[in-house]
Amino acid sequence: MRRAVLFAAALGALAAIPATASGATFKYGVAAGDVSSSSALLWTRASTAGSYQVEVATDRLFHHVVAARRTAARASHDFTMTLRMARLRAGTRYSYRFWQCETGTAGSSLACKRVGRPSAAGSFVTAPSRSANATIRFAFTADADAQPQPPSRTPFWNRFQVYRRMQLEANAFNVNLGDTMYSDSEVVGAQGLDALTVRQKWGKYRMNLAQRNLAALRGAAGIYSQWDAHEFLDNFSRFQNSFPTGFSSNG
């Protein structure tokens, strides 16, 4: 990657992502997106389809769980899950994690017979209330491409070290200004690997999320993300277009 990188779970620093003795694993960590003063979108990806539960607490040890909801991971969504947790308190730090539930468990959202071990724990802070006098610290970056140069398996540009620096700042949230992955990588030798289908794009996201620095940043604080060109196909850079001499834009 040529530019300082992006995007867009762990508590403080991401603990080693746990593997379960039996049941699902959560290789790509967790994330909290679009955090407001009263809600947040919580995300993870499981290794297998099934029934799951997310729990939200006001402490790191989950002694004070304030919300829990059931959901399901399906192959049609690449085993990802996103839930909106509402009725949260403004200006409050929350911890959250996902569990796999035994298939067929019925009842309320809390009725989950847990299987294996939970995901890594994530953390986020809700926005302060409108009347609060608060100082907010955040960081932003963009452009993330973990594409190796064939036949190497190591990311060509870097391992997203900028995300590690952002995580160490302990920001209230972080902003991803787009190009959260490259459907059309500019790594030499990878031009024939463009992601043109939804499933191919999922693969590009998994490639980026396999980098621990990115997974750790996403779990350490809330994140706000937007799209740019490379989530689709870039249509304006010098690599894709040769503009005539004297070309100008009045836009």
pLDDT value of residue 123: 98
Domain positions in the chain are 30-125, 138-225
Q: Is 18 exposed, middle or buried (0-12, 13-18, 19+ CB in 10 A)?
A: middle
Long-range contacts made by residues 65-72, C-beta under 8 angstroms, separation at least 24? 66/94, 68/109, 68/110, 68/112, 69/109, 70/101, 70/109, 70/112
Domain 30-125 has CATH 3.40.50.970: no
pLDDT value of residue 184: 86
Structure tokens, 146: 């973990």
pLDDT of residue 242 exceeding 70: no
pLDDT value of residue 9: 33
Relative to beta strand 138-141, strand 173-176 is: parallel
pLDDT of residue 10 exceeding 60: no
pLDDT value of residue 217: 94
* pLDDT, averaged across the chain: 83
pLDDT value of residue 105: 52
Give the mean model confidence (pLDDT) for residues 38-60: 97
Q: What percent of the chain has pLDDT over 90?
A: 55
DSSP state letter for 218 = H
Contact predicate 211/159, CB 8 Å: yes
- 137 vs 244, higher pLDDT: 137
- Biggest CA-to-CA distance, the chain: 68
Contact predicate 43/81, CB 8 Å: yes
Nearest to 54 by CA among 36, 38, 72: 72
